[in-house]
Amino acid sequence: MPNSDPVVFLVDDDEGARNSLEMLLETYDLEVTSCKSAKQFLEIVENQGCACLVLDIHMEGMDGFELLEALKDHQTVFPVVMITGAMDTGIPEKAKKAGVLEVLEKPLDVDELVSAIRRTVNK
């Protein structure tokens, strides 16, 4: 049941992964809004509070790092947990420079993801 609590936004272009993660996160009593693209996220985020952004790095169109740059241009800052299926060598450093608080590799351990979300929300 939706409430007025801030939302965890989940942005991932992989429909199966996105749907599964959304359902799993909701079992931890998190209110989740999922988006299939960075563009869709940008279209709806202004109308809702955001407690945390769970963001895939590698997506069609605008990737996760490009979305973070777009948010800076809008002077919008959220705590961010980045997720990736391909942890390249430079990703953790690049993510840290972009202000990302946590980077997790797929396949995700849901308990680890929930802990990361809770840590970022409480910062």
DSSP secondary structure letters along the chain? ---SSPEEEEE-S-HHHHHHHHHHHHTTT--EEEESSHHHHHHHGGGS-EEEEEEESS-SSS-HHHHHHHHHHTT----EEEEESS--TTHHHHHHHTT-SEEEESSP-HHHHHHHHHHHHT-
Domain count, the chain: 1
pLDDT digits (tens, 9 = 90+) for 63-84: 999 999 998 877 777 899 999 9
Q: For residue 1, is it within any domain? A: no
Residue 46 lies in a domain: yes
Q: What is the CATH number of the domain that holds 117?
A: 3.40.50.2300
**In the β-sheet with 80-84, what is the strand arrangement from edge to edge?**
32-35, 7-11, 50-56, 80-84, 102-105
Q: What gap in Å lies between CA 76 and CA 111, rounded to an integer?
A: 28
**β-strands 80-84, 102-105 pairing:** parallel
CA 73 to the chain's CA centroid? 18
Q: Is residue 79 part of a domain?
A: yes
Answer yes or no: is 83 within a domain.
Answer: yes
pLDDT of residue 46: 75
98 inside domain:
yes
The pLDDT tens digits of the residues spanning 20-76 come to 999 999 999 999 999 999 999 998 887 677 889 999 999 999 999 999 999 887 777
Q: Containing domain of residue 59, as a range?
A: 7-121
Alpha-carbon distance 81 to 78, whole Å?
10
